[in-house]
Structure 1
Amino acid sequence: MPVLAEVEFPGVTALQYEEANHRAGFGPEHPPAGLLAHSAVITNEGLRLVNVWQSAQALEAFMEIMMPVAKESGFPEPSGPPRISELYNFVVP
């Protein structure tokens, strides 16, 4: 079942976000396995990510790869645990 994942990283800049994706080898042409939709917002507080994954397992596999890379790129711990919600409906027009 698809899941929505929301997480915030206080103080993270656009440059750190781009660096982490580059180090991990992810980008528009090379998305991680299981990713259905991705959005990143840079605010005055830091980075907010909202993603849709094919499954909770796909999200967990991604986190095992990305969290060490994020730390190497200077990310702090997230402001809290990711908020995970099972999707009732997901439409891509």
Structure 2
Amino acid sequence: MPILAEVEFPGVTALQYEEANHRAGFGPEHPPAGLLSHAAVITNEGLRLVNVWQSAQALEAFMEIMLPAAKESGFPEPSGPPRIAELYNFVVP
């Protein structure tokens, strides 16, 4: 079942975001397995991520790789637990 995962990291910059992705080996040409959609927004408060995953298991596998890379890039703890919901509808034009 596809899921939507949303999380915010206070104070994280675009440079830290790029560094974490580089450390983890992910990018537009090399997306993580199971990722269907990704959006990253830099706000006045920090970084907000909104992702759609094929499954909760795909998200868990990604987090095993990304969390160490994010910590090495100076990410703080997220502002709260990730908000996760099963998708009712997902359209890719």
Shift of 1:11: 0.2
Q: Note the C-alpha offset of 1:34.
A: 0.2
User: Secondary structure of 2:33's match?
Assistant: coil
Residue 52 of structure 1 deviates from its aligned partner by 0.1
Q: Kindly provide the CA deviation profile for residues 34-85 of structure 1, in whole angstroms up to 9, marking residues without a partner as x.
A: 0000000000100000000000000011011101110000000000110000
Q: Please report how far the alpha carbon of residue 22 of structure 1 lies from its aligned counterpart in structure 2 after TM superposition.
A: 0.6
Structure 2 counterpart SS, 1:28: coil
Name the CA distance, whole Å, in 2 between partners of 1:7 and 1:71.
15
Number of equivalenced pairs = 93
Q: Deviations over 1:15-45 (max 9, x none)?
A: 0000000111100000000000000000010
Q: Which residue of 1 aligns with 2:68?
A: 68
Q: Distance in 2 between matches of 1:74 and 1:16?
A: 7
Give the Cα–Cα distance (whole angstroms) in 1 for the partners of residues 6 and 38 of structure 2. Answer: 10
Unmatched segments (≥5 aa) in structure 1: none
Equivalents in 2 of 1:64, 1:77: separation in Å? 15
TM-score (norm 1): 0.99
Paired residue secondary structure (1:80): coil
| Equivalent residue number for residue 49 of structure 1 | 49
Give the drift of 1:14.
Answer: 0.2
Aligned to 1:88: 88
CA RMSD of aligned residues (A): 0.4
Moved over 3 A (4+): none
